[in-house]
Every structure is written in structure tokens, then in C-alpha cells.
Amino acid sequence: MTESSPLLREPATTDTVTSTRGVTVTRFAQTRRGRVASGVAQARRGMRSTVGVLVRARDWVRETVSPAGLLLVAIAIGGATAGAAFGWFEAWVVAAMSATLLLVCVPFLLGAHDYRVRLDLDRDRVVAGSEIHGTLDLVNRGSRPSMPSVVDIPVGRGLVEAHIPLLRGGAHHEEQLVIAAQRRGVIDVGPMTVSRGDPLRVLRREMRWPEVQRVHVHPVTVALPPSSAGLIRDLEGAPSSALVDADLSFHAVREYVPGDSQRHVHWKSTARTGKLMVRQYEESRHARIAVLLDLDLDGYSDDDEFESAVSAAASLGVQGVREGRDVLVGVSSELDVLDRGAVQAMRSLPTVTPRALLDGVSALQGGSAAGTGARVIRLESVATLVAQSFSDLSIAFLVTGSLVPLDRLRRAAITLPPGITVVAVRCEPEAEPTARHSRELTVLTLGRLDDLAQLLARGAVR
């Protein structure tokens, strides 16, 4: 037998399996490698280990050394290089000072974190303009004292810092926090980070807690009077002033007209008058309400006007949900900038409960139909999509700003299903509350949110 070359790779042991059809399958269970192949494999393993160490070192430097610390390191290296190359005594002094400052900051990093951190918020849903109170409880679970540290709590786009003093083993520190929720939106609180470092913030150590708590800041709403506009033949509808020949709410009797159903003949009145009389009913209306909010910021003069419109739409929707009516709150979906407006879409907010509706309203953000920023479709397009998908409406509210001309509101009203009441709610801060009626729609101008309840209570909607 000839000796195999060290460059060849040959099997040492094999497992042979023979099936019932006579096909033999051989599997290599173990192989022997030559010296060259083994060396290449070891070099690869060493390279992977080296790369892993370098990656971990890079991550450690990013987490531990601040930009100021990196500047000190660069000054120390540059000063030592200049002093050795040119013999500059000043360069050696600068390098020594930088290195000494780095060494002084190192003891602040000694010791391990062993904390238990818990943040309790008193509420997860508030109204805009309120405050959220929280309690931060930090416990040193170790047996040794812990150095003073700082807890960074991201709150939306802001940051809240809580300074933790020196804690003995087993001691805890409680900090009271106040989070201002001045504007409508969704606030994410967390993840929290406990950082410890030197007073100059050259070096630091951090420990992160990934928990995030979400707070919904609801818009300000007002209570509104009920409305009886809706569709006919609704078992739970409210009577209206329209008279029909068949419904549930009896109104009066009238003389028989050829074509009337004999089921509605009122025999007592027929016997008393000697003429055939039939019953007449009040039309019952099903209260399916559509509230369409304009998200196009080009129709609003400023952010406060937009927030007023959001509050008005939320008030209308919440009132309808509380009365047990079918409510559709429709807004424009954000459009894809790549399709150039070829696809238009709207979305409806959840209206199962008032809280679910307000949670959806809290996350609304405006855009622009002109293409600047997030793209949204105009109110007329939203009304067209609603008319195509929801034909059994009773009343529709078009909520928008003061910069939208009346011609656009009329076009939006015409696209809605015929026979329904269309009300345009225009928010214009500090304006006189007015109600103007036309054949297509009723336009309500709101100077304040409270004007909406007053106009509806005075019967501004016909």
C-alpha cells in the first residue's frame, strides 16, 4: 500500500446504509486532514476569533468612551508622537496631562451594576394639557455600595434624567417624576438606561432595560347634543319629521289612496268617517354617522387650528359611539411617493368604544397633498372613497380648516350619497361662531371647540 500525500483529504471511517432496493449510501462520519488543510482551518478560526475580539473592543469603546474621551486619547497619542519625533517638551506635557486625566476617570467605572429598576406611571391615557406622574424605584441588589449614577428615561423625543446617590448594599432610592403631556400624541416612555461615569463625562458605563411603556394623549373633547338624522326602517332609530306609509312610529291617519297596502287600513276611523282610512307613520332614522377629518395641513393656518379640527372630529365621533350609533371616522391614509397618486386610500379608526376611538385619534398626523412631507389625499377624495364603500349613511361631518374654500366643500358634499345631511365644520380660532345653510350642505364655523356644542344645541344642523 502506498502512503497517501499530506495534501489529500481521505476518509477515516464510513457508515454504509443499504436500502431494500439495493441502493448503497455512504456517509463520511470522520475525516483526516493533511497538514496544509489543518493549518488553513486553524488560521480561519484564529481570524474569526481576532475579528470577534476587535468587534467587542469596538463596541466597548463606543459604549464606554465618550467623544471627549476619544479626543483625550487622540491628544495623548498625538502629543507622544510629536514629542518622540521632534523632541518637543510641550508635546510630552500635553500627552502626559491627557493620559493622567484618563487614568483619573478610570476608578469611577470600577464595580459592577446590580440594580433593580422599576418605573410605575399612574396613567397610560391622559387628555392633552395634563401631567403624568411616575415613581422610579431603584434597588441596589448587591452587597457592596454602588457609586452615584444617572437614570436616563426617554420620553417621546425628550429625555428625563434622575440622579441616583451612593447606595449601600440592599438600599433603594425612590424618585418622583412628572411628565408633561401638553399636546395630543403617543408617548413612548423608555427604554431606561442607568449610566455611571466620572464628573467630566469622559468615561461611562451603561445598563439598559428594554421595557417601553406607551402613553396615549387624547385630544380635548366636549359633550355634544344628540342627533336624530339617519336611515329609514331602523328598529332602534329615532323618529324624524318626515312622514312615510310604512314604519314603526305611528303618527296619524289619512284617506286611502289607490296603491296603499290594505295591511295599514285603520278600521275604526273607517267605520267612524265612512271613508277608507289608512295609517301614516313617522320615518325612523338609523343613525349611521360619518366623520371625515381633513389631514391636509395646507388647509390649516397653523398647528393649533389643526388640533382644534382633530378635537372637533373626536367629539363628534365619541358622542355617536356613546349613543350607540354606527360611527365611521375616516381619514386619509399616507400615500406612497412612488405611485405618484395613482393609488388613493383612506382608513377608518376603531369605533368599538370611545377609548379605542380616542387612542386612534391620538396617533393621527397631518400631511400635505402638495407633496411636501408625508403625502395625503384631499378631503374630496376621502368623501369619494366613503361614498363608494359606505352608501347607507345618514349624516356626514366634514371637519377641516379655515383655508379650505367653500367650492371644495361643496364638491365633497356632492360626491357623498344623495339624501343625507352633510355638515362642514370649519375650525377658525377666534372667529365668530356661525351656521350657513345651502342646498348641498351646512357650514359651521367654530372659533372655539365649545362653539360646536352650542351650534348643534341651537339646531344649526337641519
Residue reference for cell 473592543:
57
pLDDT band at 245 (very low <50, low <70, confident <90, very high): very low
Could you read off the pLDDT of 306-320 as tens digits, one per residue? 999 999 999 999 999
pLDDT band at 236 (very low <50, low <70, confident <90, very high): very low
How far is C-alpha 388 from the chain's CA centre? Answer: 28
Cα separation of 334 and 336, whole Å?
7
Could you read off the pLDDT of 13-44 as tens digits, one per residue? 444 444 444 554 545 445 555 677 777 778 88
The per-residue pLDDT for 174 is: 92
pLDDT band at 5 (very low <50, low <70, confident <90, very high): very low
Contact criterion met (CB below 8 Å) for 426 and 401: yes
Domains of the chain: 37-109 (no CATH), 115-218 (2.60.40.10), 238-285 (no CATH), 288-457 (3.40.50.410)
The per-residue pLDDT for 340 is: 56
Lowest-confidence range among 153-162, 181-190, 227-236, 404-413?
227-236
pLDDT band at 8 (very low <50, low <70, confident <90, very high): very low
The per-residue pLDDT for 44 is: 83
Over residues 176-185, the mean pLDDT reads 92
Could you read off the pLDDT of 184-224 as tens digits, one per residue? 999 999 899 888 777 777 887 778 888 899 999 999 999 88
Cis omega (within 30 of 0) for bond into 225 = no
Question: What three-state secondary structure class fits 180?
Answer: strand
Residue 379 has pLDDT above 50, yes or no: yes
Please report how many Cα atoms fall inside a 13 Å half-sphere around the Cα of residue 169, on the Cβ side.
Answer: 5
Over residues 324-332, the mean pLDDT reads 89
Cα separation of 155 and 134, whole Å?
12
Residue reference for cell 349613543:
323
221: cell is: 373633547
The per-residue pLDDT for 251 is: 58
Residue percentage of the chain with pLDDT more than 70: 81
The per-residue pLDDT for 32 is: 54
The per-residue pLDDT for 237 is: 46
pLDDT band at 238 (very low <50, low <70, confident <90, very high): very low
Residue percentage of the chain with pLDDT more than 90: 34
Q: Please work out, in degrees rounded to the nearest 5, the angle formed at the alpha carbon of residue 82 by the alpha carbons of 77 and 87.
A: 135
Contact criterion met (CB below 8 Å) for 119 and 135: yes
Higher-scoring residue by pLDDT: 411, 286: 411
Cis omega (within 30 of 0) for bond into 258 = no
How high is the mean pLDDT of the chain?
81
The per-residue pLDDT for 135 is: 93
pLDDT band at 357 (very low <50, low <70, confident <90, very high): very high
Listed ranges 223-232, 321-330, 368-377; the one with the highest mean pLDDT: 321-330
Cα separation of 414 and 387, whole Å?
10
Max Cα-Cα span within the chain: 130
Higher-scoring residue by pLDDT: 385, 113: 385
The per-residue pLDDT for 72 is: 87
End-to-end CA distance of the chain: 108
Over residues 271-297, the mean pLDDT reads 81
Contact criterion met (CB below 8 Å) for 137 and 107: no
* Per-position DSSP letters for 220-288, written without gaps between them: P----------BSS-TT-EEEEEEESS-SEEEEEEE--TT--GGGB-HHHHHHHSS-EEEEEEEEEB-E
The per-residue pLDDT for 242 is: 52
The per-residue pLDDT for 239 is: 47
The per-residue pLDDT for 172 is: 87
Contact criterion met (CB below 8 Å) for 140 and 146: yes
Residue 150 has pLDDT above 90, yes or no: no
Listed ranges 5-14, 41-50, 125-134, 232-241; the one with the highest mean pLDDT: 125-134
Over residues 96-104, the mean pLDDT reads 89
Residue 291 has pLDDT above 80, yes or no: yes
The closest of 355, 352, 350 to 331, measured between CA atoms, is 350
pLDDT band at 363 (very low <50, low <70, confident <90, very high): very high
Could you read off the pLDDT of 388-433 as tens digits, one per residue? 888 778 889 999 999 999 999 999 999 998 888 899 999 998 899 9
